[in-house]
Structure 1
Amino acid sequence: MPEALLADFLAFTLAGEAPAVTAGEAAVGVQWRWLGAGLLALAPAALADDAPRIVLSAGVHGDETAPVELLNVLAQDIAAGKAALQAHLLIVLGNVAAMQAGCRYLDDDLNRLFGGVHLSVPNSTEAGRAAELEACVARFFEAGPGARWHLDLHTAIRPSVFERFALLPQREAAYGADVFAWLGAFGIEAVLMHRTGSATFSHYCSHAHGALACTLELGKVMPFGQNDLSRFAAAASGLRRLIAGAAPADGTTPPRCFDVVGQLDKRSDAFKLLIGDDVANFTPYAQGTPIARDGEQVWTVQHAEERIVFPNAKVKVGLRAGLLVAELPVV
């Protein structure tokens, strides 16, 4: 059973199996621990407690399958000695039930339930999973004093002017140049700088555990088996360098930076996008352009140019239906 788990962690997880043995050592000297459905911890046997602690998550939305497949290949290669590991690594396959059902989520968007928000929807399928993931990453981070990372890997529903982009959670400390160097190494073309808190997985790990956390949008949503993982080569290469303790690759292009300057909150079923339902992420609009309406509330572009990200009028009432961002000047 452990061999099956390490050989294809994704297939093992989707089958709903639990190993008879929950910890062991792979042939290359990497210790592994199965911590629950979709939860696998890996570390070299002789690694110090103060080595970096890195959480790599995917599948928080069950239909975003390419990053899940990417992490599955990474786990296989670590166990087979094909990928170097010099960190305590936790691989998280997020919404397993939704992945099994082939949908985004069953009851509630899992990436809106962290930081205790899951307590407000106790009957939701995703509420229990959010609580489980919070507890798992808390134990993982608190097991040692090393530097903490969390990279939450996603793919977007709609096309994007920038195919690969990232969202940095709001925090008091400024993000250093090393962060943007790593983002460039992952192939990230644009970065959104959040100025307010949220209930996402990356924001939770940043604020609750002091992790250097980021949400990475790496391409387009596709079903399992239909992903071209060659399109994710930059992200895969960057992740392997990070967990191996190497520096970011030289010669990468730093991403363009955008400030989140507005949020479209769906307050009622009357909410309507005024820009069409098929616009690409990062589509630009000029000052004064009406973007959305909800009853008497109308959102218009306030800056000389703003771009729309994640427009989705079909979200549940009370959730975010889009972000408006403006490009930050190059420093």
Structure 2
Amino acid sequence: MSFIEFTLGKLTKAEFVAQLPKHLAFECWAPGVLYLPGEGPVSLVLSAGIHGNETAPVLVLDEIVKQICRRQIVPKYACLFILGHPQALLEARRYCDTNLNRLFCGYHQKVKPCIEANRAALLEQSVKRFFQLHDTHKKQHWDCHCAIRDAIYPRFAVVPVAQEQDMHHCQRSMASHLSMLQQAGIQAVVLSKLATHTFSYASYIQYGAQAATLELGKALPWAQNNMLDHQYFQDYLISLITSNTHDARGETHSRLRLFSVAQQMIKSRDDFTLAFAADMANFSCFGQGELLAYETGREYRVKEKQEMVLFPNAKVERGARALLTLTPYHDKGLYD
């Protein structure tokens, strides 16, 4: 039984459903969208493969589904397993026409019809259906990715947060979420107040879910992944689904590094150019006044004493984010 093979069209729906165990009420809503009812009080969306070249998290979710089907693990909570972009996964490319992870919150309606727009609409409807089925549950969505470059903190998360005036009311929930991320092996968290069109942000803003975009190391082709590098994270997801206390098996974690977004740089011209090496690692640090990027009529420089770069990519489409910079987050009340 392979969730991946069905997602990629190598199994028909009938063939896939026939392989699902009769004792579980799995529902196959669409290729790459698999629903499993649960008791509550938590409902989990676990997604991967929104970008087709980020394969390790896809293998993690596929293995978890296999273990459920073999009765090796017994889920407690309702789960929606999503493999996001079947065509891009099949072609081993980031996307086909445009970045799927910029088309949520209804933004797919504002672009020309394409594979990604259709897929974003389907995924939005699937998540809406899932959370409506479990409206009284605590909602959570972890969207699992891999970064296209190295990082000083290889396993990190981007977590949407409320505006400052609402922060007091969500501190307890945020502290709990940060603790979960730390237990999952995440090393750094970017707390972002930016309104975006990402998959996890849509679940946060539309349904109040505890949401995060997780970056789990570097993106690699299918066969090049060493899945032992992801075993700890996979074990944590299993403990989350089954509501069992996670056994760290001797692994210790240092305190999470917390960051805020300092600047967001949007590519507005075709000649947008980074002022540093294209393979610069995420979280690399620059000093005040240093040039980060430039395009016709504009330079982008460090404004704070120090800022770290995140997701630099001069090859994005015009109008898309080409670079974020970060500063340390100092609100102790949120974490302590």
Q: Same fold (TM over 0.5)?
A: yes
Question: What letter is aligned with 2:285?
Answer: P
5 Å-filtered alignment, 1:1-331, equals 7-20=1-14, 27=21, 29-43=23-37, 47-48=38-39, 50-144=40-134, 145-171=136-162, 172=166, 173-174=170-171, 175-249=173-247, 252-329=253-330, 331=332
Q: Which runs of 5+ in 2 are unaligned?
A: none
Moved more, 281-290 or 18-27: 18-27
Moved more, 27-36 or 279-288: 27-36
Unaligned runs of 5+ in 1: 1-6
Rounded to whole Å, the distance in 2 between the matches of 1:23 and 1:143 is 21
CA distance in 2, matches of 1:75, 1:26: 10
Q: Identify if the C-alpha distance between structure 1 residues 21 and 10 changes in structure 2 by more than 3 Å, giving closer, same or farther.
A: closer
Aligned partner of residue 224 in structure 2, secondary structure: coil
How far off its partner does 1:180 sit?
A: 1.3
State the alpha-carbon separation in 1 of the partners of residues 11 and 5 from structure 2: 9
Aligned length: 321
When normalised by structure 1's length, the TM-score is 0.92
Over 3 Å counting, the alpha-carbon distance change for 1:138 and 1:23 in structure 2 is: farther
Measured in 2, the distance between the counterparts of 1:135 and 1:16 equals: 24
Instruction: Measure how far apart 1:329 and its partner are.
Output: 2.9
Question: Aligned to 1:197, what secondary structure does the other structure show?
Answer: coil
CA distance in 1 between counterparts of 2:4 and 2:20 reads 17
Counterparts of 1:142 and 1:24, CA distance in 2: 27
Contact 1:167/1:194 (8 A) holds in 2? yes
1-structure distance, mates of 2:103, 2:175: 30
In proportion to residue count, which structure has more helix? 2
The answer as to whether partners of 2:152 and 2:284 remain within 8 angstroms in 1 is: yes
Q: CA RMSD in A?
A: 1.9
- Report the alpha carbon displacement of residue 17 of structure 1 after superposing the two structures with TM: 3.5
Q: Distance in 2 between matches of 1:22 and 1:206?
A: 31
Structure 2 Cα separation of the partners of residues 159 and 216 of structure 1: 14
Specify whether residues 117 and 275 from structure 1 end up closer, same or farther in structure 2 by C-alpha distance, changes over 3 A only: same
1:69: Cα distance to partner?
0.6
- Confirm or deny: 8 A CA contact 2:6 2:13 kept in the other structure: no
CA distance in 2, matches of 1:21, 1:161: 44
Return the offset for 1:246. Answer: 2.8
Residue identity matched to 2:128: A
- Name the CA distance, whole Å, in 1 between partners of 2:16 and 2:59: 22
Contact 1:153-1:216 within 8 A present in 2 as well:
yes
Q: Which amino acid aligns with 1:77?
A: Q
User: C-alpha displacement at 1:122, in angstroms?
Assistant: 3.3
Relative to structure 1, the CA distance from residue 25 to residue 140 in structure 2 (aligned partners, 3 Å threshold; closer, same or farther) is: farther
How high is the TM-score relative to the length of structure 2? 0.91
